[in-house]
Amino acid sequence: MKINEGGLDRVVRVVVGLVLIALAATGTVGWWGYIGIVPLITGAVGVCPAYSLLGLNTCPMKKSS
């Protein structure tokens, strides 16, 4: 799979994922906060399956022909 997330998109996903996981771990939110692992992983890897399905790409790199 090709990288389809830009730098800012990746940073935001990692931060949101960490915040959700921290909130769940401290009991501030329910168990659903562990869903933060999804944006954390997609941000770390740089590939979002939903972006691929929707044909979105926030990565500033030129597409190869």
Residue boundaries of the structural domains of the chain: 7-54
Q: How far is CA 52 from the centre of its chain?
A: 13
Q: What is the pLDDT along the chain (65 residues), one digit of tens a residue?
A: 789 999 999 999 999 999 999 999 999 999 999 999 999 999 999 999 999 999 999 998 765 54
Are 6 and 58 in contact by the 8 Å Cβ rule? The answer is yes
Q: How far is CA 15 from the centre of its chain?
A: 9
Q: What is the pTM of this model?
A: 0.86
Are 5 and 39 in contact by the 8 Å Cβ rule? The answer is no
